[in-house]
């Protein structure tokens, strides 16, 4: 990694794309209130990294949501993604992780 710029939430003159966004930045991109993003994070409905009391959103997660919406040509429902993830987790726990 080169210097601290690789980890910054915003890029300097566009030279390095961000690896993470703040919750406020992600909320602005999705055109929602930051509290909506926080609620989704707390409901395990939105990917985030917790650093003590702060959360950051992986830029890759945002890009994947955008790509999924573009590829589907329809609505990407975060609630459906959460339900799928929870079901997979429950299955893994019940089966002991074996397929």
- pLDDT tens digits, 9-57: 444 556 888 999 999 999 999 999 999 999 999 988 888 999 999 999 9
CATH code of residue 45: 1.10.1660
> What is the number of domains present in the chain?
1
Q: Which residues constitute the domain of residue 86?
A: 5-95
Within 10 angstroms of residue 92's Cβ, the number of other Cβ atoms is 12
- pLDDT tens digits, 70-84: 998 888 887 787 788
35: exposed, middle or buried (Cβ count in 10 Å: 0-12, 13-18, 19+):
exposed
């Amino acid at each position: 990694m080169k210097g601290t710029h690789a980890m910054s939430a915003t890029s300097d003159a566009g030279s390095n794309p961000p690896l993470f966004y703040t919750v406020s930045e992600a909320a602005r991109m999705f055109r929602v209130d930051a509290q909506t993003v926080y609620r989704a994070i707390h409901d395990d409905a939105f990917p985030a990294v917790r650093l003590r009391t702060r959360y950051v959103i992986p830029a890759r997660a945002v890009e994947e949501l955008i790509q999924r919406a573009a590829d589907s040509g329809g609505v990407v429902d975060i609630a459906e993604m959460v339900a799928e993830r929870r079901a997979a987790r429950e299955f893994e726990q019940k089966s002991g992780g074996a397929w």
